[in-house]
Chains A and B, each alone.
Chain A
Amino acid sequence: MKGTRSTVFWLMALCVALLLPVQGHAGAPGFDKKEIRIAQWGPQTGPAAPWGSVARGSDLIFKMVNEEGGIHGRKIKYFIRDDQYNPAQTKAVVKELVERRGIFAFVGGVGAACGMAVKDYLAENKVVWVGPSTAINEYVFPVSPYLFGIYPLYDDEASVLAKYVVENLKAQKIGFFYQNDSYGKSGLEGCKKRLATYNMSLVEEISVEPGEKDLSSQMLRLKNSGAEVVFLWVNPTSATIALKTCATIGFKPQWVSSNTLSDFPLMNTITGGLWEGVITGGFGVPPDSDHPLIVKYREAAKKYAPEERCGTFYLAGVLFAEPLIDALQRVGPDLSTEAFLDALNTTKDYQGIGPKITWTPEVHQGTDSIQIQQCGPKGSYILLQDWVQNDLATWK
């Protein structure tokens, strides 16, 4: 009996010891003389794993920076954590990173719900977050002092695309097929606002739940509306089913979609070639372009990550990290969170492989510009229009 009691006591003591907070870098400013600790969450496994390449893309540019000697003598120590696109997991991994590793800044971060789960926590802990990998108004309006957005807002993007189809394609009848969430509804709003300036309205607007596998009734309705152009503000699977269904019912509008479906090689493959001709917004220079920076990143990817497909989302990870590196370089050797925030807040017309980015203390949405791209043969990119701003954006 005494032995049992003693075993229970010591086991309990061990449990308590394991539960005690581990002294890591808790409370540390996230850097020292040798390194700056930067992190990103992203789905490396689970249903959203294809977007996990964003976090690995950021790794590429940090490796390039480190090989060139780091930033003012400090190397970047980069942490990726798999949250499986699950906000509860995001919270857990971010807490672990901040409290045990001592993170200076986060970059990217896939998933609106995942980001919202940690937005306030990061601000409370004064951890800077640059370039969330999604566009939601709550990130940037009202301004959060520690959060800097790059991704173009979906209503800005839809507005620019609607202008293009009315003025360049001379479309008169436009339909809108959207996902029934904030992503889809933002796009719908942007498109409607733009059409209102031409005294036009949508001939049809239809929502879809993300998991629906049969879209025949919705597509027949769009066909019946006589739409010449249909906006697709949905996920890749819904877009694929929509295009396949329309091929069956003999409906061939000009499809226009958001940058979330601008990974043309992937979309063209999963639609069995039906993606050719689709017009989308683009938040980065096409991955197959001969832009000097893209060429540089492609070469680096061959060296550091030969197993990766250097596609839109992989390069998005680079794109989100570029202005962060630029600001760190401008800070100089006397690094602090305050100095870093000052540098970010004075970023003006910075351009890497994305649009020009400007941040001020009052506005942390960095851009309203997109490119307009079209899917060419075999998933290639055709640039229809270079960076163009949304002249109707009300937040500037």
Chain B
Amino acid sequence: MIEQLITEGLAIGACYGLFGVAVAIIYKTSDVINFGQGEMGMISTFVTYHILAQYGLPFWLAFVLTMLFAVLLGMFIEFFFMRPAKDPTVLGLIIITLGAEMLLMGLAGWKWGAEQKDFTFPLSVQKVHEPIPGLILNEWSIGVFALTALIMVLLFLFFRYSNLGIAMRATQQNQNAARIMGIKVERVFSFTWGLSSLIGAVAAMFFAARSVLDPNFMMEPFMRAFAAAVLGGLTSIPGVVVGGLLLGLIENFFGYLWPVWKPIVAFVVIIIILTIRPSGLFARHYVKKV
């Protein structure tokens, strides 16, 4: 029983962590929390659903096409929603993301309707494997673990060694200095939104496979992923994933012992940790100098 609690907790936690990474990437570059992140993932998942249902393409092809769409969607929102904002404050930009969230949700309701749908996903939650006696993993969990690890490694290499990754970090630290150094800050923002949208779309597909697909299905996972990101530290990508894993474990253990308290226990823990470490468990606390 305890093994299943751990594996299930880690699996959903990894999914929170993966989605939290999508939130953290935009935050790392622009200090903006994108409240439309969940709905961006939702729209991308609906696009996969649409491709599968309408055109009957194989899943891998639908997945690739959706990833292209997700990148486009992220860049589109940055270009047409965020960039036109005149003399934007961080709060103003956050409000714009809220507007984008409502727009995307309305769009999905109009196009695909509010009735719940089954999202066909190749990694089944019903097919289980037992790699080590006692350790039961379903295909969905194996997929989440593998993909989260892969994305983590790729992001680490990208931010550490690629010019674009370094430019993104520089932009977050000081936009003006980055400009002076020849970095095209606007392009960095567009790329950031595209990358974040892509990672968010992958995580959203995993969430849809575990529950149902409807225009609201990402609201609650977004809140949990955001909480996980805050717990781990919004500026530390490994921290966000570890925050997600911790959240999943805390919820599952407390949920087993005291089911009534499950929905709030994680948030209580977060409040306690943030009181002690305001930047989260793994992020370095820094103050921007004016």
Chains A and B come from one and the same complex: yes
Interface residues of chain A, those whose CB is within 8 Å of chain B, are 43, 45-50, 180, 206-209, 211-214, 216-218, 220-221, 224, 236-237, 240-241, 244-245, 247-250, 266, 269-272
B28-36, B258-266, B274-282 - interface stretch: B258-266
Contacts A216-B8, A248-B138 given; indicate if A211 touches B256 (C-beta within 8 A). Answer: no
B4, B140, B212, B263, most chain A CB atoms within 10 A = B212
Residue B145 at the chain A interface, CB threshold 8 Å: no
User: Which residues in window 123-151 of B have CB below 8 A to A?
Assistant: 125-126, 128, 136, 138, 140
Which chain A positions have C-beta within 8 A of B49? none
Contacts A213-B220, A217-B8, A270-B212 given; indicate if A206 touches B259 (C-beta within 8 A). Answer: yes
B128, B215, B263, most chain A CB atoms within 10 A = B263
Q: How far, in whole Å, are A115 and B9 apart by their CA atoms in the complex?
A: 39
3 tightest A-B contacts by CB? A217-B255, A49-B114, A216-B8
CB-based contact A217/B252 at 8 Å: yes
Contacts A47-B216, A218-B262, A220-B5 given; indicate if A250 touches B128 (C-beta within 8 A). Answer: yes
A-B contact list, 9 entries, CB within 8 Å: A43-B114, A50-B115, A180-B260, A209-B263, A214-B248, A237-B212, A237-B214, A248-B125, A271-B118
Nearest B residue to A244 via CB reads B125
Closest CB in chain B relative to A59 CB, distance in Å: 18
Which chain A positions have C-beta within 8 A of B99? none
B1, B136, B254, B262, most chain A CB atoms within 10 A = B262
CB-based contact B259/A221 at 8 Å: yes
Cross-chain contact of B260 among A43, A207, A213, A250 (Cβ < 8 A): A207
Q: How far, in whole Å, are A49 and B220 apart by their CA atoms in the complex?
A: 19
Q: How far, in whole Å, are A237 and B126 apart by their CA atoms in the complex?
A: 17
Cross-chain contact of B126 among A47, A224, A248 (Cβ < 8 A): A248
Residue B211 at the chain A interface, CB threshold 8 Å: yes
Closest CB in chain B relative to A153 CB, distance in Å: 25
Contacts A45-B109, A224-B1, A250-B128 given; indicate if A217 touches B118 (C-beta within 8 A). Answer: no
Closest CB in chain B relative to A187 CB, distance in Å: 17
Cross-chain contact of B5 among A49, A207, A217, A271 (Cβ < 8 A): A217
Residue B76 at the chain A interface, CB threshold 8 Å: no
Q: How far, in whole Å, are A170 and B8 apart by their CA atoms in the complex?
A: 33
Q: How far, in whole Å, are A201 and B214 apart by their CA atoms in the complex?
A: 37
CB-based contact B115/A241 at 8 Å: no
Cross-chain contact of A240 among B5, B212, B248, B263 (Cβ < 8 A): B212
CB-based contact A211/B255 at 8 Å: no
